[in-house]
Structure 1
Amino acid sequence: MTKRVLFTGGGSAGHVSVNVALIPRFKEKDWTISYIGSHNGIEKDMITTQFPDVPYHGIASGKLRRYFSVKNFTDPFRVLAGVMQAYRVLKKEKPNVIFSKGGFVSVPVLLAAKMAKIPVAIHESDVTPGLANKLAIPFATKIYTTFKETLQFMPKDRSTCAGAIIREELFTGSRKVGEELTNLHASKPVLLIMGGSLGAQGINKVVRDSLDSLLEHFSVIHLCGKGNIIQTDKEGYVQYEFVSTELPHLLEMTDLVVSRAGSNSIFEFLALKKPMLLIPLSKESSRGDQILNANAFVQQGFALKLEEQDLSQECFLTTVRQLRDQQWTMVEKMEEAPPSYTIDQMTDEIALLSRSNGN
């Protein structure tokens, strides 16, 4: 009998990346796979590009804003329309189980799943659940968290800390390939800087203002975001707008990381034992989830943190030096971290959930 799984989640790459990691394993196990996302979100590009054989269904979705907007009055009707569209998809695809990574597009899907009596698993990345997952939790059969601290916000009888689901290809990097890609062969340690596409300008500026000092001690790989590459001939400094298949090789040759504090990224650095300096998005630019993520990693000894309002050249260079001095202590702490679920373990959990409802 054919087993069917439907994935949902979108709005940001973080709400899709775990799905992208899990889909290949379900394909290997001969499950029939489908996806529900928004009509024009990043999830559509990621899923249809990487898995053109997976049916993608776009539905209407709204967004609950924490500020006044006329759309706050119209979006509930979009959510209602999305519920009915999702329900029709569920009746057509007949999934045995649904896996949701979050984002507002997942809310109507989980409401429809409740109506259709289909078991649902949710994975929450951040220390505190996002608004979409808060709305979806009552309709979830099982909730998996990345941080153990998140369990205090979840129903105890349905929640488990699974950790981060790490893309397996990140463990396949080659230092030699990385050196060929970057042309960095010096004996200096490699500092990888990942500003992210959202709010990267502050990080880009302080890095470039500090570049001469950094290059005295490091080779620098800078992922600076689309349209942010500058003209320079400084030796030991390599820029990329973004990378995809190159990333495992760049990480393999990396000694230290400077990054935002998105949950998926920082757990990938943890899994690869890369000491990190985290510069979380401020509360003015987000709901503050990255600050909580960074605080949790600092408390466990995996990272240092620099608040965005303190992002001066002097503070940045001082903290990078501290990171270099503390890197081996951090690696020791990382070695002691409890392991996250593997791709196989998470796949088995979802499969087991499909059977819990008699499917």
Structure 2
Amino acid sequence: MKKVLFTGGGSAGHVTVNLALMPLFLDEGWSVDYIGSAQGIERELVGSLDAVKYFPISTGKLRRYFDIQNVKDPFKIAKGVYQAYRLIRTRKPQVVFSKGGFVSVPVVIGAWLNKVPVIIHESDITPGLANRISIPMAAAVCTTFPETGGQIGKDKTHYVGAVIRQELQQGDADRGRKFCGFHASKPVLLIMGGSLGARKINEAVRAALPVLSKTFQVVHLCGKGQLDPDLSVPGYKQYEYINEELPDVLAMADMVISRAGSNSIFEFLSLQKPMLLIPLTKQQSRGDQILNARSFETAGYCRVLAEEELNDASLVQEVTGVYDKREEFIAHMLDNKHSDALSAVFRLIKEKARPSSNPAWK
């Protein structure tokens, strides 16, 4: 049986592309394994696929700043490399696909040591630290933005565009309203702060609810541990995270407030959802979300609100601005030509896969 191994985690953005690809391999009869962290969100998300075997390994965070954990984490990463090496040696995949995140680095190293080809997917304009470490060991790198190839080297870069989960196109607005207890006579505002949540966005949304709720029904995905059990406002629903019902919730949404992770914003683009993007600051990240958001703003898909300028008043003002011009945003998004990135990546992984008689296993 042909075998493929997936890795990636730490946030939902490092898992969604894997979730789109794995069913395609299962449908063709491949054996599918996943290596992730013991406690990360990837374990929760991948756990919904019964046919996928999940293997947790030790992992550490690669930080750009001083932290006492920087002393301990290299040992965790080294342990993770050994665990990944042994797992790959035992499971014998023909190919490894990595979506990035810190847990992917030990897996890529383990695959490289076992002479198993690795395909990497980079969502953002600029590669993240984990992918920058991994790219020299990869057989190919799939990119979402064409300009990323200039930073990686065109010899192994494959510009494919954005990978969109097929199930998102199958959402039903009526099911979404039933799930949230909403009605069809009032527009819906969806807030997504990322799988880990966004405390400052949550605070601004809750402070602005008295005004926002006059115009919108509000569904708020606020992140793990960030529910406010004392908050009760008619037409306001809060959840830590939504998985199976997300296509329906997106189908009913009239506009979205979101961070600017590449996977998410391209999914909103494919569904023609007007966006207000609040990217992570340079103090919180390497600045990739700022680049993503400005690219979308230039294309006419969204408006951007810097987190440094975020408060309840600015949030209301920007939401009103997006909603009032929603038809203009939708018109620009309809002009976007979607590529079949999912099929392109699927084909590339299969092309790079080693035969089952890989001499590395002998």
Q: Structure 1-normalised TM-score?
A: 0.91
CA distance in 2, matches of 1:244, 1:82: 28
CA distance in 2, matches of 1:44, 1:358: 30
For structure 2, the residue ranges without an aligned partner over 5 or more in a row are none
Specify the alignment match of 1:215 in structure 2.
Answer: 213
Specify the alignment match of 1:172 in structure 2.
Answer: 170
Q: CA deviation at 1:227?
A: 4.2
- Indicate whether 1:7 and 2:12 are aligned: no
CA distance in 1, matches of 2:354, 2:85: 21
Which digits, 9 at most, give the CA deviation of each residue in 1:150-198, with x for residues without a partner?
2221111111222222222111111221222223224232211222354
Specify the alignment match of 1:287 in structure 2.
Answer: 286
Specify the alignment match of 1:193 in structure 2.
Answer: 191
Q: CA deviation at 1:230?
A: 4.5
Quick one: percent identity of the two aligned structures? 50
- Indicate whether 1:278 and 2:269 are aligned: no
CA distance in 2, matches of 1:44, 1:215: 35
Q: 1:162 to 1:60 in 2, by over 3 A?
A: same
CA distance in 1, matches of 2:220, 2:43: 27
Specify the alignment match of 2:90 in structure 1.
Answer: 92
Q: CA deviation at 1:275?
A: 0.8
Alignment of 1:312-351 (within 5 A): 312-351=311-350
Q: 1:356 to 1:146 in 2, by over 3 A?
A: farther
Q: 1:218 to 1:351 in 2, by over 3 A?
A: same
The partner residue of 2:67 within 65, 69, 84 is 69
Amino acid across the alignment from 1:105: V
Q: CA deviation at 1:356?
A: 9.2
- Indicate whether 1:228 and 2:227 are aligned: yes
SS in 1 for 2:186: coil
Specify the alignment match of 1:26 in structure 2.
Answer: 25
The partner residue of 1:78 within 76, 80, 87 is 76
For structure 1, the residue ranges without an aligned partner over 5 or more in a row are none
CA distance in 1, matches of 2:237, 2:41: 27
The partner residue of 1:155 within 153, 156, 166 is 153
Amino acid across the alignment from 2:242: V
SS in 1 for 2:215: coil
Amino acid across the alignment from 1:126: D
**Larger mean Cα displacement after TM superposition, 293-302 or 218-227:** 218-227
Amino acid across the alignment from 2:144: T
Specify the alignment match of 2:255 in structure 1.
Answer: 256
Amino acid across the alignment from 2:248: H
Q: CA deviation at 1:199?
A: 5.2
CA distance in 2, matches of 1:356, 1:338: 35
Which digits, 9 at most, give the CA deviation of each residue in 1:46-91, with x for residues without a partner?
32x2234433233333332212234434433433333333222222
Which digits, 9 at most, give the CA deviation of each residue in 1:90-125, with x for residues without a partner?
221111111001112221222222222221100012
CA distance in 1, matches of 2:265, 2:323: 18
8 Å CA contact 2:13, 2:263 repeated in 1: yes
CA distance in 2, matches of 1:115, 1:68: 30
SS in 2 for 1:157: coil
8 Å CA contact 2:255, 2:273 repeated in 1: yes
8 Å CA contact 1:229, 1:240 repeated in 2: no
SS in 2 for 1:50: coil
SS in 2 for 1:284: coil
CA distance in 1, matches of 2:354, 2:104: 22
Q: 1:36 to 1:332 in 2, by over 3 A?
A: same
Specify the alignment match of 1:42 in structure 2.
Answer: 41
Amino acid across the alignment from 2:219: I
CA distance in 1, matches of 2:164, 2:240: 23
8 Å CA contact 2:254, 2:273 repeated in 1: yes
Specify the alignment match of 1:131 in structure 2.
Answer: 129
Specify the alignment match of 1:104 in structure 2.
Answer: 102
Amino acid across the alignment from 1:304: R
8 Å CA contact 1:25, 1:344 repeated in 2: no
CA distance in 1, matches of 2:197, 2:85: 37
8 Å CA contact 1:96, 1:119 repeated in 2: yes
CA distance in 1, matches of 2:192, 2:163: 20
Which digits, 9 at most, give the CA deviation of each residue in 1:5-42, with x for residues without a partner?
11111222221221122111111100011122233333
**Larger mean Cα displacement after TM superposition, 270-279 or 148-157:** 148-157
**Larger mean Cα displacement after TM superposition, 156-165 or 212-221:** 212-221
SS in 1 for 2:325: helix
Amino acid across the alignment from 1:150: T
Q: Structure 2-normalised TM-score?
A: 0.90
- Indicate whether 1:304 and 2:297 are aligned: no
CA distance in 2, matches of 1:355, 1:196: 36
CA distance in 2, matches of 1:317, 1:252: 23
Amino acid across the alignment from 2:256: V
8 Å CA contact 1:119, 1:357 repeated in 2: no
CA distance in 2, matches of 1:224, 1:59: 28
CA distance in 1, matches of 2:36, 2:247: 27
